[in-house]
Amino acid sequence: MTNTRFQRHPTPQEAFVRTHTGKLVLFLIFLLSLLVGAEAKTTVKKESFGKTKDGAAVELYTLTDGQFEARIITYGGTVISLKAPDRKGHYDDVVLGFDSIAGYEGDDPYFGALIGRYGNRIAKGKFTLDGKTYTLATNNGPNSLHGGKRGFDKRIWAAKEIPNGVELKYVSKDGEEGYPGTLTAIVRYTLVKDSLKIDYSATTDKDTVLNLTNHSYFNLAGQGNGDILSHEMKLNAAHFTPVDDTLIPTGKIQSVAGTPFDFRAATAIGKRINDNDEQLKFGKGYDHNWVLDGAAHAERLAAEVYEAKSGRVMQVWTDQPGIQFYTGNFLDGSIKGKAGKAYPLRSAFCLETQHFPDSPNHKNFPSTELKPKQVFHSSTTYKFLTR
């Protein structure tokens, strides 16, 4: 028999709380799930972006999550627009580009494009792989640059919508631009909350070399709104790869300490860009590869840029071993971009996550070789904040 001597019946108020607390908790969990789902939802819209000179149709994919918007075309897998709010909630397009496909087919310095088969430079357009020497197109003085005369930036990529973004695919045939092996490249752009993420993957049927990147030109004050010399840059890199007068790495890995290349503490881009330094003279400013701190293949913070007037901050996270910092040294105002805005000298910067330039010709650099049955994969994220 149960002893009820010390049992106390609950008051009506206590009984109500006990009865409804569980229901209230479940209701709050339901509301939270709705909020989280709404925050993560990105809409993807597909439309036409016209046709190339050869009559090929170009598609435009617009990704938006209510706070950020990215627009990507199938010609070159190009990011043609990226809108981000400033500290007051005002939106600007922070990448350079054109309003029509004609601009990208014209005198285009790789604005926003996917770069391949080999991003950056290969000396004299030659490299040796498996005992065989391959000859590439030379399109940058004596060197091959960004995949040759018709690299991945000038190709139409097949596209399909995926959750929060778009997937692009391009098959580069054996011998295209001089590179060995049929290479299948897949790139996924996804926009979630405050970040545009780029996932690269590739396979090949023959030994080849590969260096994929994106060549967006950023101005955190807004495209066409002045130069980027007052932007504050921080690079988590204690070393860089010095170059010769054709911008080919010498093979050395040099400390940034005591040089204009030390951005380990946030420093205005323009503070030392005109210093009497041989490397800066070679590049007409910054156009060099930094050796990122930390283990490659692990995504870590590579760079952070701050623009004081807008309060915009852009972080670059990557698992790549290097990053090319370029300060628009060859822009001269002759190019008219979106809304007819001119792009003068140093009106944008690039942060191209990558393996090192000319790696196939430097055994001490991280290897860029890809073999059959291997799958190349890399991720880079551009994250936007304000302060």
Cα 241 from chain centroid?
20
Coil, strand, or helix at residue 8? Answer: coil
Q: What is the pLDDT of residue 38?
A: 46
* Catalytic center residues: 215, 352
- The sign of the CA dihedral 28, 31, 33, 35 is negative
Here the CATH number for the domain that contains residue 170 is: 2.70.98.10
366 assigned to some structural domain? yes
**Highest mean pLDDT pick, 21-30, 293-302, 356-365:** 356-365
User: pLDDT per residue over 182-241, tens digit each?
Assistant: 999 999 999 998 999 999 999 999 999 999 999 999 999 999 999 999 999 999 999 999
29 assigned to some structural domain? no
36 assigned to some structural domain? no
Task: Please report which confidence band the pLDDT of residue 11 belongs to, taking 50, 70 and 90 as the band edges.
Answer: low
95 assigned to some structural domain? yes
237 assigned to some structural domain? yes
User: pLDDT per residue over 110-121, tens digit each?
Assistant: 999 999 999 999
Q: What is the pLDDT of residue 107?
A: 86
Q: What is the pLDDT of residue 118?
A: 98
If residue 69 lies in a helix (H) or strand (E), which one and from where to where?
strand 69-73
Q: What is the pLDDT of residue 369?
A: 98
112 assigned to some structural domain? yes
Rounded-to-integer distance, Cα 156 and Cα 51, Å: 11
- The answer to whether residues 34 and 10 touch, using CB atoms and an 8 Å cutoff, is no
33 assigned to some structural domain? no
What's the total number of domains in the chain?
Answer: 1
Quick one: tokens of 385? 């904040």
Mean pLDDT confidence for 51-75: 97
- The answer to whether residues 289 and 211 touch, using CB atoms and an 8 Å cutoff, is no
Residue 155 has pLDDT above 90, yes or no: yes
Task: Please report which confidence band the pLDDT of residue 2 belongs to, taking 50, 70 and 90 as the band edges.
Answer: very low
Q: What is the pLDDT of residue 66?
A: 86
Q: What is the pLDDT of residue 20?
A: 52
Q: Which of 142, 141, 122 is nearest to 133 (CA)?
A: 122
Coil, strand, or helix at residue 204? Answer: strand
Residue 288 has pLDDT above 80, yes or no: yes
Residue 292 has pLDDT above 80, yes or no: yes
202 assigned to some structural domain? yes
User: pLDDT per residue over 313-366, tens digit each?
Assistant: 999 999 999 999 999 999 999 999 999 999 999 999 999 999 999 999 999 999
Rounded-to-integer distance, Cα 126 and Cα 124, Å: 6
Rounded-to-integer distance, Cα 148 and Cα 207, Å: 19
pLDDT mean across residues, the chain:
92
Residue 17 has pLDDT above 70, yes or no: no
Write out the residue range of the structural domain in which residue 241 sits. 44-386
